[in-house]
C-alpha cells in the first residue's frame, strides 16, 4: 500500500541524526578550496545551498552535504562562465565575419570611382580579390584577438571562482610576456607593420611596388612578409617591419611619359604640332581610347633647354600598370613620324 509523502514529514527525521556535526576545524584537512566552498554553503550562497537553506530552515547540514552542494554550485558556475564566454565569442566572431564580408565586396563610392577611372574587368577582378584577401586577413586577426581576450577573461573568472590567487599568476604571465616580447620584438614589429599595411591598403597582390630594397610585382602578402617578383623573375621576401617607404604604381592610375630631344635649331612650332598630332592620333585609336588611356595625352612645352638640345615632353594618364605599354606605343609613333619627315633627334 502506498502512503503519501505528506504522512512522513521530513522534520520527523532530523538530518543531524545521520552524521554528527563536525568541528569546522576538521574541514581544513580537505584544503583551502573545501573550506571556502563549505563556508559559502553555510551562508546560503549558491543555488543548491540556497535551496537547502530555504527548504529546511534551521537545520544544520552535515559537512559532506555542504561540500557536495558547494562543489555542485561551483561546477555550475564554472560551466555557466564557460558557456557564456563561448556564446559571446561566437557572437563576436559572427559580427567580425559580417563586417569583413561587407568590406570584401566593396562600397558604392569605390565602385563608382573604379568606373570613373575606367578600370577594366580584369583590373576590377584584381581589386575585388585584393579586398577579399585584405578582409580575410583582418578578420582572422580580429577573431584571434577576440578569442584570446574573451577566453582569457573567462579563464581568470573561473580561477577566481576556485579561489586561486590571481596576482602571482598575472605577475608571472606578465614577466613571461615581457621576456617573449623582448626576444621576438622583430617578429612583433613585422606583424604590427603588416596589420597597418592591410588596414591602410598600401598595396596588394598584383601591384607593382618599390620597397626600397626590391622592386617588383606583389605575389603574396601576409602579416609578416611581402613576396615580390622583379622583372628578372627573381623572388624577394621582404619583412614588413623593414619597409619604411613604399612606392605603388598600381593604385588609381599611372602616367606614361616620353621625352623627345630635338636639335636646338629645329622648327619648334612644327615639332610641337607633330607631337600634338601623334598624341591626338593615339587618343583616337580605339585600341587605346578609354581602354588604356584615361585622358587625352598632352604635349608640354620645352621641358629642358641646353646649348645643343631642346626636349619636348608627351604625357598620358593611363590605367594602372599600363603606362609602359602606352609609353612604348608613343615612342614607336614618334620614331615613325620623325622618319617620315626626315627629322633628326638630338644626340
Domain of 224: which CATH number?
2.30.30.60
Same domain for 286 and 238? no
Which SS3 state, helix, strand or coil, does residue 257 take?
Answer: strand
Which SS3 state, helix, strand or coil, does residue 344 take?
Answer: coil
Q: In the Cβ-directed half-sphere of 145, how many Cα atoms lie within 13 Å?
A: 8
pLDDT of residue 114: 45
- Rounded to two decimals, the pTM is 0.53
CATH number at residue 288: 3.30.70.100
Q: Please check whether residue 92 lies inside any domain of the structure.
A: yes
Q: What is the pLDDT of residues 196-243, one digit of tens each?
A: 887 777 887 788 899 888 899 888 888 888 999 988 889 999 999 888
Q: Please check whether residue 177 lies inside any domain of the structure.
A: no
pLDDT of residue 92: 93
Q: What is the rounded distance in angstroms from the CA atom of residue 76 to the CA atom of residue 158? A: 11
pLDDT of residue 56: 58
80: left (phi over 0), alpha (psi -120 to 50) or beta: alpha
Same domain for 234 and 145? no
Q: What is the rounded distance in angstroms from the CA atom of residue 33 to the CA atom of residue 50? A: 19
Backbone phi, psi, residue 215, to 5°: -125, 130
Which residues contact residue 304 at a Cβ distance below 8 angstroms, ignoring those fewer than 6 apart? 259, 310, 311
Same domain for 41 and 99? yes
Q: Please check whether residue 1 lies inside any domain of the structure.
A: no
CB crowding 257-292: b at 16 or more within 10 Å, else e: ebebbbeeebeeeebbebbeebbeebeeeeebeeeb
Same domain for 104 and 204? no
Q: Please check whether residue 69 lies inside any domain of the structure.
A: yes
Residue ending a domain, choose from 164, 186, 208: 164
- Cα 346 to Cα 44, 301, 303, 336: the distances in Å are 101, 17, 14, 16
Spell out, as residue ranges, where the chain has pLDDT lower than 50: 1-30, 44, 107-119
Residue ending a domain, choose from 248, 279, 310: 248
Backbone phi, psi, residue 259, to 5°: -100, 130
Same domain for 13 and 159? yes
Same domain for 17 and 159? yes
The tally of domains found in the chain comes to: 3
pLDDT of residue 331: 92
- Pairing relation of β-strands 215-221 and 208-210? antiparallel
Q: What is the rounded distance in angstroms from the CA atom of residue 266 to the CA atom of residue 132? A: 55
Q: What is the rounded distance in angstroms from the CA atom of residue 292 to the CA atom of residue 319? A: 5
Q: In the Cβ-directed half-sphere of 91, how many Cα atoms lie within 13 Å?
A: 7
Q: Please check whether residue 11 lies inside any domain of the structure.
A: yes
Same domain for 125 and 48? yes
Neighbours of 61 (CB within 10 A): 22
Same domain for 71 and 150? yes
Query: Cell numbers at residue 192, please?
Result: 604590427
Same domain for 44 and 30? yes
Residue with cell 620584438: 185
3-state secondary structure 67-88: HHHHHHHHHHHHHHHHHHHHHH
Same domain for 12 and 62? yes
| Residue ranges making up the domain that contains 336 | 254-340
Q: What is the rounded distance in angstroms from the CA atom of residue 19 to the CA atom of residue 17? A: 6
Residue ending a domain, choose from 248, 281, 313: 248
Q: What is the rounded distance in angstroms from the CA atom of residue 108 to the CA atom of residue 55? A: 64
Query: Cell numbers at residue 212, please?
Result: 626600397
Neighbours of 50 (CB within 10 A): 15
Q: Please check whether residue 160 lies inside any domain of the structure.
A: yes
Same domain for 333 and 316? yes
Q: What is the rounded distance in angstroms from the CA atom of residue 329 to the CA atom of residue 250? A: 20
Q: Please check whether residue 105 lies inside any domain of the structure.
A: yes
Task: With beta carbons less than 8 A apart as the criterion, state whether 238 and 214 touch.
Answer: yes
Same domain for 137 and 233? no
pLDDT of residue 2: 41
Query: Cell numbers at residue 74, please?
Result: 561551483
The gap from C-alpha 253 to its chain's centroid, in whole angstroms, comes to 25
Q: Please check whether residue 169 lies inside any domain of the structure.
A: no
Amino acid at each position: 500500500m502506498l502512503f503519501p509523502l505528506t504522512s512522513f514529514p521530513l522534520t520527523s527525521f532530523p538530518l543531524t541524526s545521520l552524521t554528527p556535526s563536525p568541528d569546522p576545524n576538521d574541514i581544513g584537512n580537505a584544503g583551502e578550496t573545501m573550506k571556502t566552498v563549505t563556508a559559502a554553503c553555510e551562508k546560503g550562497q549558491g543555488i543548491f545551498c540556497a535551496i537547502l537553506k530555504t527548504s529546511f530552515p534551521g537545520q544544520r547540514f552535515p559537512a559532506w552535504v555542504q561540500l557536495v552542494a558547494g562543489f555542485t554550485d561551483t561546477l555550475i558556475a564554472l560551466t555557466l562562465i564557460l558557456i557564456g564566454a563561448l556564446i559571446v565569442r561566437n557572437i563576436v566572431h559572427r559580427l567580425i565575419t559580417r563586417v569583413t564580408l561587407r568590406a570584401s565586396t566593396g562600397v558604392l563610392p569605390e565602385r563608382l570611382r573604379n568606373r570613373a577611372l575606367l578600370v577594366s574587368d580584369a583590373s576590377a577582378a584584381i581589386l575585388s580579390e585584393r579586398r577579399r584577401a585584405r578582409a580575410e586577413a583582418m578578420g582572422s586577426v580580429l577573431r584571434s584577438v577576440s578569442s584570446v581576450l574573451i577566453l582569457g577573461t573567462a579563464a581568470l573568472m573561473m580561477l577566481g571562482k576556485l579561489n586561486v590567487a590571481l596576482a602571482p599568476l598575472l605577475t608571472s604571465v606578465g614577466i613571461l610576456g615581457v621576456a617573449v616580447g623582448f626576444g621576438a620584438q622583430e617578429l612583433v614589429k613585422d606583424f604590427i607593420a603588416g596589420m597597418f599595411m592591410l588596414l591602410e591598403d598600401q598595396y596588394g597582390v598584383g601591384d607593382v611596388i618599390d620597397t626600397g630594397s626590391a622592386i617588383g610585382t606583389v605575389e603574396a602578402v601576409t602579416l609578416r612578409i611581402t613576396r615580390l617578383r622583379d622583372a628578372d623573375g627573381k623572388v624577394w621576401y621582404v619583412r614588413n617591419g623593414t619597409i619604411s617607404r613604399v612606392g605603388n604604381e598600381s593604385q588609381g592610375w599611372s602616367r606614361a611619359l616620353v621625352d623627345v630631344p630635338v636639335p636646338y635649331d629645329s622648327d619648334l612650332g612644327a615639332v610641337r604640332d607633330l607631337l600634338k598630332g601623334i598624341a591626338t592620333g593615339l587618343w583616337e585609336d580605339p585600341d587605346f581610347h578609354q581602354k588604356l588611356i584615361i585622358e587625352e595625352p598632352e604635349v608640354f612645352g620645352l621641358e629642358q633647354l641646353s646649348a645643343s638640345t631642346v626636349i619636348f615632353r608627351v604625357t598620358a594618364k593611363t590605367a594602372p600598370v599600363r603606362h609602359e605599354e602606352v609609353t612604348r606605343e608613343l615612342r614607336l609613333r614618334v620614331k615613325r613620324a620623325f622618319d617620315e619627315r626626315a627629322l633628326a633627334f638630338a644626340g
